[in-house]
């Protein structure tokens, strides 16, 4: 299985730009969806699929593939955009986003979409699933790893911390978490909804190895992935500081675009900006 | 079928079945600090490498099990029936919806659980899990049938919920007669044509006693171990509708949504005949001995006899 796509930093950045355009197109065409958290996550998604994950488009369920678990499953346009780049989805598949019978369900779904390893939708569940994948890989003495992306608002779910504790207790070195610290959740800024203070410190206090990065700097993204890869005696967490809606001026840091589609004028403006 | 002697708790049968699967490295056991109670501790003692203890964290356990199942393992995850319910959304969205084959066991179900009181007595689990697409829902009556049905789950192709009970009841099966058990098919223990009593769990024993009491009054009852609540054995129900023309359901569970609910829903849309439900009326339990609580809640054989006479009168 090929590890990543053999792309250098500038090629990864170009891929991220194409993905950003597709994210906005998908949400605009569907008239609904979650552009903000897709745009904040996309550089890391590109880093993972373009630089690191061993997956096989010819055999999406291959037993020894790495797993990617998008726990904040509403950021599905970001996942579909990157799966499209990796060859799991066609141009026409992307037009099925939120449409009846298509692979691109509103929230990522392993039963509908090739290359998706986890059916998400309820926040807080992905890390636990990733730990299950990690324990299984350990039992199999396989080198496959499980990469889990969590939203920062999602950290308010108690189940996340059940998993954070369990990953350390079971010394799961093959589970890597990425926290998309974009600072905004459904209703408002995270700090207004439930203050979380220092997220890195929280993970570290449970015994995780933690690294903080700028989640929109592709070089930092790639380096952080390599760093997490080399942590093998326990779980690793990358807290990436991001901007919700990154790349589209009127969406950036705007709680309104957590889960709203752009108007026609806004769509045109976004397409002009994303070049 | 002759009545076997001795007693057994269905949770012991679950533990015994896990021990019989020790040689299968695909089988993994997950527990949430209640292994001694659910009897998964027996497996843990023999095969700690394939036992995952997750602490008092049921929600996490459900998704860890799902992750392992998608990596070609066969997870058996257990906790108390009531504590599985706090992870309902995890079971719904993380297991049933993607049809991931995880086998859940909720022990200490029903008011039979006794002195722990109402917080520990799940009387709604069968109803809850029955509503989920893809889920198989099982409630065996004794240790031998629990063992047999758990062993069958290893080859089952969809997720399941099995409720087991804490306390011993007289056995309805022997090692030999357990061979006739099959997930999704009721087992006829007594054959009569006046009324059909469909029972599950500890209530099968009460139904068998009720059958003897009815026989003394010249009333011939069929008694079925309806160990699988979903998928319901509709063929058997059709046959009994024709032959007996009246049903009594008996369960240590709310009369809302469990076995009685399932059978009612089916017959009302197919071959409607009168039905009476013996179960926990719309109320919570309390602390007390198993037998005391069964008296209080109307779950004794005499309650089944009363219900049988009433339903026959309604024919």
Task: Read off the CATH number of the domain in which A140 is found.
Answer: 3.40.50.970
Given a cut of 80, is residue B291 above it in pLDDT?
yes
Do B149 and B238 belong together in one domain?
no
Do B58 and B126 belong together in one domain?
yes
Given a cut of 90, is residue B3 above it in pLDDT?
no
Domain enclosing residue B257, as ranges = 184-313
Contact A66/B at CB under 8 A: no
Given a cut of 80, is residue B93 above it in pLDDT?
yes
Residues A241, A178: Cα–Cα separation, whole Å = 10
Do B55 and B194 belong together in one domain?
no
Facing B70 at nearest CB: one of A133, A139, A158:
A133
Residues A220, A228: Cα–Cα separation, whole Å = 12
% of chain B residues with pLDDT over 70: 98
pLDDT of residue B232: 98
Do A166 and B62 lie within an 8 Å CB cutoff?
no
Residue B247: inside a domain, yes or no?
yes
Do B124 and B242 belong together in one domain?
no
Do B162 and B188 belong together in one domain?
no
Residue A88: inside a domain, yes or no?
yes
State how far residue B42 is from chain A, nearest Cα, in angstroms: 20
| DSSP code, position A259 | S
Residue A2: inside a domain, yes or no?
no
Residue B286: inside a domain, yes or no?
yes
Best residue of A120, A132, A161, A167 to probe chain B, by most B CBs closer than 10 Å? A132
Contact B71, B26 (CB under 8 A): no
Contact B179/A at CB under 8 A: no
Contacts of A117 in chain B (CB under 8 A): 70
Do B166 and B234 belong together in one domain?
no
Number of domains in chain A: 1
Do A166 and B50 lie within an 8 Å CB cutoff?
no
Do B27 and B140 belong together in one domain?
yes
Residue A249: inside a domain, yes or no?
yes
Do A132 and B90 lie within an 8 Å CB cutoff?
no
State how far residue A70 is from chain B, nearest Cα, in angstroms: 13
Facing A163 at nearest CB: one of B60, B65, B70:
B60
Residue B2: inside a domain, yes or no?
no
Residue A76: inside a domain, yes or no?
yes
Beta bridge partners of B221: B195
Crossing angle, helix A9-30 and helix A218-230, to 10 degrees?
Answer: 100
- Give the residue from chain B lying closest to A166, CA to CA: B54
Do B97 and A117 lie within an 8 Å CB cutoff?
no
Do A117 and B70 lie within an 8 Å CB cutoff?
yes
Contact B68/A at CB under 8 A: yes
Contact A70/B at CB under 8 A: no
3-state secondary structure of A112: coil
**Is B58 marked active-site?**
yes
CA B172 from chain centre, in angstroms, equals 14
Residue at which a domain ends, from B111, B144, B170: B170
Given a cut of 60, is residue A212 above it in pLDDT?
yes
Beta bridge partners of B155: none
Mean pLDDT of chain B: 96
Residue A4: inside a domain, yes or no?
no
Overall average pLDDT of the A190-196 stretch: 94
Do B30 and B104 belong together in one domain?
yes
SS3 readout for chain B: CCCCCCEECHHHHHHHHHHHCCCCCCEEEEECCCHHHHCCHHHHHHCHHHEEECCCCHHHHHHHHHHHHCCCCEEEEEEEHHHHHHHHHHHHHHHHCCCCCCEEEEECECHHHCCCCHHHCECCHHHHHHCCCCCEEECCCCHHHHHHHHHHHCCCCCCEEEECCCCCEECCCCCCHHHHCECCECEEEECCCCEEEEECCCHHHHHHHHHHHHHHCCCCEEEEECCEEECCCHHHHHHHHHHCCCEEEEEEEECCCCHHHHHHHHHHCCCCCCEEEEEECCCCCCCCCHHHHHHHHCCCHHHHHHHHHHHHHCC
Contact B50/A at CB under 8 A: yes
| pLDDT tens digit sequence for B133-146 | 999 999 999 999 99
- Active-site choice (B31, B58, B148, B276): B58
| pLDDT tens digit sequence for A225-234 | 999 999 999 9
CB under 8 Å to A95, separation ≥6 — which residues?
A: A29, A102
Overall average pLDDT of the A248-262 stretch: 96
- Give the residue from chain A lying closest to B63, CA to CA: A129
CATH code for the domain of B204? 3.40.50.920
Do B224 and B308 belong together in one domain?
yes
Given a cut of 80, is residue B1 above it in pLDDT?
no
Overall average pLDDT of the B210-231 stretch: 98
Best residue of B67, B75, B132 to probe chain A, by most A CBs closer than 10 Å? B67
Pick from B27, B36, B77: which is nearest to B57 by CA?
B77
Given a cut of 70, is residue B52 above it in pLDDT?
yes
| pLDDT tens digit sequence for B145-198 | 999 999 999 999 999 999 999 999 999 999 999 999 999 999 999 999 999 999
Residue at which a domain ends, from B140, B170, B200: B170
74-103 of B, contacting A, C-beta below 8 A: 75, 89-90, 93-94, 97-99
Residues A272, B307: Cα–Cα separation, whole Å = 75
Do B127 and B200 belong together in one domain?
no
Burial of A196 by CB count in 10 Å (0-12 exposed, 13-18 middle, 19+ buried)? middle
Residue B1: inside a domain, yes or no?
no
Do A162 and B55 lie within an 8 Å CB cutoff?
yes
Residues A265, A262: Cα–Cα separation, whole Å = 8
Longest dimension (CA), chain B: 58
State how far residue A17 is from chain B, nearest Cα, in angstroms: 32
Given a cut of 90, is residue B5 above it in pLDDT?
no
Residue written as token pair 């998008």: A70
Contacts of B57 in chain A (CB under 8 A): 159, 162, 165-166
Residue A110: inside a domain, yes or no?
yes
Do B16 and B164 belong together in one domain?
yes
State how far residue A52 is from chain B, nearest Cα, in angstroms: 20
Contacts of B50 in chain A (CB under 8 A): 139
- Give the residue from chain B lying closest to A68, CA to CA: B67
Best residue of A71, A117, A123, A128 to probe chain B, by most B CBs closer than 10 Å? A128
Do A128 and B59 lie within an 8 Å CB cutoff?
yes
Do the bridges between strand B103-107 and strand B74-80 make them parallel or antiparallel, or are there none, so unpaired?
Answer: parallel
Mean pLDDT of chain A: 97
Facing A110 at nearest CB: one of B28, B62, B98:
B98
CB under 8 Å to B119, separation ≥6 — which residues?
A: B82
Do B77 and B110 belong together in one domain?
yes
Domain enclosing residue A42, as ranges = 9-273
pLDDT of residue B6: 67
Residue B222: inside a domain, yes or no?
yes
User: How sure is the predictor about B12, in pLDDT bands with cuts at 50, 70 and 90?
Assistant: very high
Residue B177: inside a domain, yes or no?
no
Residue A1: inside a domain, yes or no?
no
CATH code for the domain of B14? 3.40.50.970
Number of domains in chain B: 2
- Give the residue from chain B lying closest to A157, CA to CA: B59
């Amino acid at each position: 299985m090929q590890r990543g796509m053999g792309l250098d930093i500038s090629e990864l950045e170009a891929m991220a730009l194409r993905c950003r355009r597709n994210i906005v197109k998908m949400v605009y065409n569907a008239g609904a969806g979650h552009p903000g958290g897709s745009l904040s996550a996309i550089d890391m998604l590109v880093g993972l699929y373009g630089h690191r994950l061993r997956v096989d488009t010819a055999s999406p369920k291959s037993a020894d593939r790495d797993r990617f678990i998008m726990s904040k499953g509403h950021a599905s346009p970001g996942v579909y955009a990157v799966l499209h780049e990796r060859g799991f989805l066609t141009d026409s598949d992307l037009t099925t986003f939120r449409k009846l019978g298509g692979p691109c369900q509103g929230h990522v779904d392993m039963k509908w979409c090739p290359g998706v390893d986890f059916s998400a939708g309820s926040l807080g569940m992905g890390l636990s699933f990733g730990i299950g994948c990690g324990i299984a890989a350990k039992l199999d003495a396989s080198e496959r790893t499980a990469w889990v992306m969590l939203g920062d608002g999602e950290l308010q779910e108690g189940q996340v911390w059940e998993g954070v504790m369990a990953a350390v207790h079971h010394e799961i070195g093959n589970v890597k978490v990425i926290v998309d610290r974009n600072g905004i959740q459904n209703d408002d800024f995270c700090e207004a909804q439930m203050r979380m203070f220092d997220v890195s410190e929280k993970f570290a206090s449970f015994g995780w190895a933690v690294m903080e990065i700028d989640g929109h700097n592709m070089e930092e993204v790639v380096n952080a992935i390599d760093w997490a890869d080399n942590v093998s005696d326990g779980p690793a967490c990358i807290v990436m500081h991001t901007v919700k809606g990154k790349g589209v001026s009127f969406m950036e840091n705007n709680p309104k675009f957590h889960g709203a589609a752009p108007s026609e004028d806004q769509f045109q403006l976004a397409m002009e900006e994303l070049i | 079928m002759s009545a076997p002697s001795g007693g057994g708790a269905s949770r012991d049968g679950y533990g015994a079945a896990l021990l019989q699967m020790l040689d299968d490295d695909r089988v993994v056991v997950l527990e949430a600090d209640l292994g001694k109670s659910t009897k998964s501790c027996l497996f843990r003692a023999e095969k700690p490498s394939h036992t995952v203890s997750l602490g008092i964290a049921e929600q996490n356990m459900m998704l860890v099990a799902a992750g392992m199942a998608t990596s070609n393992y066969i997870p058996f995850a257990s906790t108390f029936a009531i504590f599985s319910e706090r992870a309902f959304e995890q079971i719904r969205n993380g297991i049933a919806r993607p049809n991931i084959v995880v086998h859940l066991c909720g022990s200490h179900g029903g008011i039979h659980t006794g002195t722990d009181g109402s917080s520990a007595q799940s009387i709604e689990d069968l109803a809850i899990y029955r509503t989920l697409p893809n889920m198989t829902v099982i409630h065996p009556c004794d240790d031998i049938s629990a063992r047999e049905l758990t062993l069958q789950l290893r080859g089952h192709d969809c997720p399941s919920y099995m409720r087991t009970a804490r306390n011993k009841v007289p056995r309805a099966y022997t090692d030999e007669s357990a061979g006739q058990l099959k997930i999704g098919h009721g087992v006829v223990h007594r054959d009569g044509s006046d009324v059909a009593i469909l029972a599950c769990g500890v209530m099968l024993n009460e139904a068998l006693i009720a059958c003897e009491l009815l026989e003394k009054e010249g009333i011939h009852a069929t008694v079925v171990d309806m160990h699988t609540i979903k998928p319901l054995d509709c063929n058997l129900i059709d046959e009994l509708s024709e032959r007996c023309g009246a049903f009594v359901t008996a369960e240590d569970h709310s009369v809302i949504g469990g076995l009685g609910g399932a059978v009612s829903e089916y017959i009302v849309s197919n071959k409607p005949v009168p039905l009476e439900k013996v179960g926990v009326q719309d109320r919570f339990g309390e602390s007390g001995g198993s037998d005391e609580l069964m008296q209080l809640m109307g779950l004794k054989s005499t309650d089944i006899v009363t219900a049988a006479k009433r339903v026959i009168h309604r024919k």
